[in-house]
Chains A and B, each alone.
Chain A
């Protein structure tokens, strides 16, 4: 299948730009008002259309047979080969200029390629990418969009990847002679066994002092300072619960004993023998914490407590989800028909991507009023279901760039990079 897919991708790529579905209506004030009202966009648009609306102009509408997309053939082939799951991963729009009311647009599609097979959190899959471009009456391009989906083989339940929230698969066994160590870890201490009679320190611990044969034991609490004595970078094979590459090191503690742990908080290339490291604790699941190591000069990892979002939460009422889907001319039933969405395995109806793009635009312009958008690139995460709340927060990276994160109760629904034109 791989070769067939590759050959197909090459053939489609070679086709270049192909005419796509016609834009049924000229850019018009009614659809813009409908859209701004549905999305809660309070900006003034005068005689131009919000740039994030660009795809709306070429949506076919209800009851119109959907014209084939240039990616249909590879998607069908993947379906037939067991890659039946699909999830949109990226949508990146570039705006050459804003379009004006009255303009008639046309659009084209071109194939972008396939990449895979790749191991992903969803299962093994192929990324399929295509582009849509919009042109004005003079055949000048006004916008372009990259769209990427992951077609994946749904994992069998038994082989499902351990969820971050689930139990970490590589659990230690704990025995009578090692219980004190793990109790210490839970108390935020790295304990080193000490012979209660001769004082010899020992790690890993054991029941009898090899020096004086006493079975009387206590412990000291390590200072948490050490140096890397040796280390490896694990690449292969896959280890349950782990994402390669990662570093495992033998750390020689200031107290003289050696321990094994991961060095986190820096790229593997930065790790070297003799590097000073300090102790940190990593929570692996609800019960297990592991003592870990980080470069001695690394700042403390920013932990827990997500900052109070400064953004205005958007309650995702069914009305909001449905109205925005229809205002973006997206009539796919999973965005308005609860029973059907549930029958397809979703929790509820959920926000469509065209709306997500619009909400990112809305947040960007609320954060940087008056700016002109050059593009929006989003990575899509968990679905935003009706009944949830979407909270958008932004961070200004530089004069021309804003990152926007949209979180729902399940996690990140969208992470986006918004680029502004020079006059921002």
Chain B
């Protein structure tokens, strides 16, 4: 038995993406979920499962109450920050495929810009396993996601001769895509490589424009059986593969203690599962939604997922290779660098739009879309297909 093809995303919903939503995170969650349910042509009473991030502050029962869902039969949470994004859909698909639930909504909502910002440094002194992981790093002022990714990026540059300009090309591509996506925060505001290079240091080797924005907003998707989805208003985005994964000696953003800093073994693991489950390869994908909280990990993901060999991503992305007219359009919506940082969930909705053929920057003849979740942490991924 395999999960492949059993479930589909039938509805997507989102709030506007902003820097200050002006309303509670629960309200954002409820608005995004309701939009997704209506997009699926369903009503809250049809929903019997909810999945979100461990990091989300809106409990499943709180969302249930706001939406007036009579009862839940399935609820779960996925941990490890943005690495959870595609994992929520994986959990939902498993629940649907096994009959634990019929209609599962996956959601993520936060005021990540106007409220608690993940990019800021703050002390932590929990002595649980996660707190102890952080304790090897925070006392050294090594306290922000940008810094943790920069440590990998420096080694990647050292091993493969990649440069800051190579990272910058990712930012330029994402902002180019966002410029023509009306939902994107950076709609109409493309950047040049020179502007990337001139932007201030955040954590050398990362410039400001290597780091994604911070956003307020909510996103939700509705997962149901592929069979039922075919009877609903939109063409289904069939979940051809869904996977979670860690790597050896996995830590929370701190994969420095063994192995290769220039790699992302957790993503390699997820990729292996996705290709095996779907029976597809990187060559079968028309567009990829790669988690882009920081530019260097877009390069490493291209390598881990088999789009190019180790150290070859800088050649793969040059001359607009990942732009709309390139050999692999990546993040046609502008990604988190350009559209919004909703912890990877807005990448899943973009994947669905590409399958439906309704994206702002629609790629031609899309049959399969790869979507990934947060990198540097335990992560997850999806292959969405037409049909």
Please report A residues at the B interface, Cβ cutoff 8 Å: 168-175, 177-178, 203-204, 210, 229-242, 245-246, 248, 250, 257-262, 268, 273, 284, 288, 290
Contact = CB atoms under 8 A, between A and B. Distances in A.
Given A170-B139, A230-B261, A258-B258, A236 B201 contact: yes
Contact of A229 (B127, B155, B200, B205): B155
Contacts of B201: 233, 235-236, 245
A241 B123 CA distance: 10
Contacts of B152: 230
B143 interface: yes
B160 interface: no
A377 to B, nearest CB: 31
A236 B143 contact: no
A170 B143 CA distance: 9
A235 B123 CA distance: 18
A170 B124 CA distance: 7
B54 interface: no
A233 B203 contact: yes
Interface residues of B, number: 43
A92 B42 CA distance: 76
Contacts of B127: 173-175
B121 A239 contact: yes
Contacts, number: 126
A364 to B, nearest CB: 40
Given A172-B125, A237-B119, A237-B120, A262 B141 contact: yes
Interface in B211-260: 249, 254, 256-258
B126 A235 contact: no
B264 to A, nearest CB: 15
Interface string B143-164: 1100100111011001000000
Interface in B329-382: none
A306 to B, nearest CB: 27
B132 A239 contact: no
A230 B154 contact: yes
A248 B151 contact: yes
A220 to B, nearest CB: 17
Contacts of A233: 201, 203-204
Nearest to A237: B120
A232 B147 contact: yes
A242 B147 CA distance: 14
Contacts of A290: 139-140
A241 B141 contact: yes
B181 to A, nearest CB: 28
A77 to B, nearest CB: 28
A235 B202 CA distance: 5
Contacts of A245: 201, 204
